Structure 1
Amino acid sequence: MTTHSGAATISTALAPANPWSLVPPLGNLDAYITAANRIPMLTPEEELGYAKKLKENGDVEAAGRLVLSHLRLVVSIARQYMGYGLPHGDLIQEGNVGLMKAVKRFDPDQGVRLVSYAMHWIKAEIHEYILKNWRMVKVATTKSQRKLFFNLRSMKQGFKAEAGMEDGAMHRETLSESEIDAMAAHLNVKREDVMEMETRLSGGDVLLDPSPSDDGEQAYGPIAYLADASHEPTAMIESRQRDYLATDGIQEALATLDERSRHIVEERWLKVNDDGSGGMTLHDLAAVYGVSAERIRQIESAAMKKMRKALAEYA
């Protein structure tokens, strides 16, 4: 009976009946944050009750209450990562995904509060989003690189504060040898890893194919000299086909002609004199076969048409 009474108290702890109506569905980010901060936090007893209802019965409404009561936590954590130049709303959205994963996996029998468990999942989801979107090319793939990525900036800020540097100086000054050694020792990584990550973070993205400028002129980008058209697959296939047609294909097409037509085509198009001039003229061939030059032209035209058909079939 006590459990039933506690569940009844929990079911009325938050209002209205639809918990998601407490948060604006779309629109202003400030309105969302304000609404999230208004949602009452759960007591340990309420949290335990909802977590058990979710685990034992798959209660979706209980899961909603657990998620809603921790939205302010996501907002707070996401604010810590705004220095990476990514939209605050997107960081919150990714953090909410991590929160929902945490709620789904939360075990109330472990004796810990959901907030302690959820922080790991929220940060992990935000970290993954930042790593995927902060650079077009991944800057951190191993565990040590991830540790460096998310600690290097804050540690550089600390060095800057100790040295009394101006706010913008951090981006212009490279790390000293002593600072590199201090970072490597503090994060338990190699000093070479610190130097490599510093180089990665200090370099910006370069557009391979820049957009045209305001005056309509096409901007010159690395894609213009990085591309090797000679080894592009389509170009290589087309080149190979042309080679085939120029050798085996021509021979196959010539084989479809009668002897006179083949001789006329060879003399007109396939022979080159020592001085670089072409083969026999229409009049030369007309004299050989005792017909008019017009007749030679007609035979040539019919032969070329037949060869084109044969080449098309060969290709």
Structure 2
Amino acid sequence: MSPSLAVAHPAAPGALAVASPWSRSLTLPPLGNLDAYISAINRLPLLTLEEEQEAARRLRDHNDLEAAGRLVMSHLRLVVSISRQYLGYGLPHGDLIQEGNVGLMKAVKRFDPDQGVRLVSYAIHWIKAEIHEYILKNWRMVKLATTKAQRKLFFNLRSRKQGLRAEALDGDTHREVLSDAEIGVVARELKVKPEEVREMETRLSGGDVVLDPAPGDDGEEAFGPIAYLADASHEPTAMIESAERDHLATEGIARAMGELDERSRRIVSERWLKVNDDGSGGMTLHELAAEYGVSAERIRQIEVAAMKKMRKALAAYA
């Protein structure tokens, strides 16, 4: 998807009148690919100093949107040129251009022709700033650079590292990690602490990891970190179910036992709830039968009837 631009917003598609490059619509057509977009903006005419100042004053003094469009569209090729410097971060070129167009729009809005500088010099700062923000937000899911010093390192360390590799301070051109001497050189040049250079190099050299990889060609689930990062014990549904089980095992059982007569309650307790110190259970059917002077079958019948009554009480309690 190629970028398109209108005066109102740099991402809005439209149609460009063929008769004049400065038609009142001041929009580029929705082109099929990025190469077509770049080819189209390269055919737009550049403004002379007098034309630029005239358009800037019309925008400043009269809020003339057609003048704003002329200023923006005559500098679209500048955005493309700057955006190419940031292709090494693996982000789509079209997206970088879009963000640069936003910065260009902001520059045009704030440009003062009476300051004695051309718009191209003023716009470079705004275009780069917008692209920088986009890269920091989208290059990694977790931000790498938050402070001003870290941002400076982020956008300069890679190119400076390549220069040091070519110079090879220690003669080893194949080593990937910066030496202490090279870290000191970078720290002095960028006016940061050596430990900040070392930390940023470590963070930049770490590859991205897909948490939940897509299934393979054979349709089988691919293993990813998401498989062992998930903590099922703190999943909300599991926590609710666990709390309900604990509640039933304490207050629920106590209330269900309260529905039984004393003999049934003792039989259930001995058969199901009692655990001795040696790990053995309570009394057997025959032991209970001998205590109450009835048959073991009668004890079993009382136990079955008591358990049925307890299940009913637990269902009502739940």
Q: Give the 3 Å change call, closer, same or farther, for CA 292–187 of structure 1 in structure 2.
A: closer
Q: CA RMSD in A?
A: 3.3
Q: Give the 3 Å change call, closer, same or farther, for CA 257–116 of structure 1 in structure 2.
A: farther
Between stretches 290-299 and 229-238, larger displacement belongs to 290-299
Which residue number in structure 2 is paired with residue 141 of structure 1? 146
On the 8 A contact 2:252/2:314 being kept in 1, the answer is no
Deviation, structure 1 residue 58: 2.7
Deviation, structure 1 residue 234: 5.0
Which residue number in structure 1 is paired with residue 247 of structure 2? 244
Alignment of 1:81-100 (within 5 A): 81-100=86-105
Aligned sequence identity (%): 66
User: What amino acid maps onto 1:15 in structure 2?
Assistant: W
Deviation, structure 1 residue 272: 5.1
Alignment of 1:257-276 (within 5 A): 257=260, 262=265, 265-266=268-269, 269-271=272-274, 276=280
1-structure distance, mates of 2:105, 2:282: 80
Alignment partner of 1:200 is 2:184: no
2-structure distance, mates of 1:275, 1:183: 68
Structure 2-normalised TM-score?
A: 0.78
Which residue number in structure 2 is paired with residue 34 of structure 1? 39
Which residue number in structure 1 is paired with residue 9 of structure 2? none
Q: Give the 3 Å change call, closer, same or farther, for CA 286–270 of structure 1 in structure 2.
A: farther
On the 8 A contact 1:272/1:279 being kept in 2, the answer is no
Which residue number in structure 2 is paired with residue 5 of structure 1? none
Gaps of 5+ in 2: 1-18
2-structure distance, mates of 1:303, 1:261: 11
Deviations 1:197-219 (A, max 9, x none): 11111111122333333334443
Deviation, structure 1 residue 143: 0.9
Q: Give the 3 Å change call, closer, same or farther, for CA 238–292 of structure 1 in structure 2.
A: closer
Alignment of 1:284-299 (within 5 A): 284=289, 287=294, 297-298=304-305
Q: Give the 3 Å change call, closer, same or farther, for CA 99–13 of structure 1 in structure 2.
A: same
Match of 1:181 among 181, 184, 187: 184
2-structure distance, mates of 1:198, 1:192: 10
Structure 1-normalised TM-score?
A: 0.78
Alignment partner of 1:151 is 2:159: no
Deviations 1:37-88 (A, max 9, x none): 1111122222222223322333322222221111011011001111222221
Q: Give the secondary-structure state (helix, strand or coil) at the position aligned to 1:80.
A: helix
Which residue number in structure 1 is paired with residue 3 of structure 2? none
Structure having the larger proportion of residues in helix: 1
On the 8 A contact 1:51/1:107 being kept in 2, the answer is yes
Gaps of 5+ in 1: 1-11
Alignment of 1:83-122 (within 5 A): 83-122=88-127
2-structure distance, mates of 1:257, 1:37: 91
Which residue number in structure 2 is paired with residue 127 of structure 1? 132
Deviation, structure 1 residue 117: 1.5
2-structure distance, mates of 1:94, 1:156: 27
Deviation, structure 1 residue 224: 3.6
Q: Give the 3 Å change call, closer, same or farther, for CA 239–298 of structure 1 in structure 2.
A: closer
Alignment partner of 1:161 is 2:187: no
2-structure distance, mates of 1:97, 1:142: 23
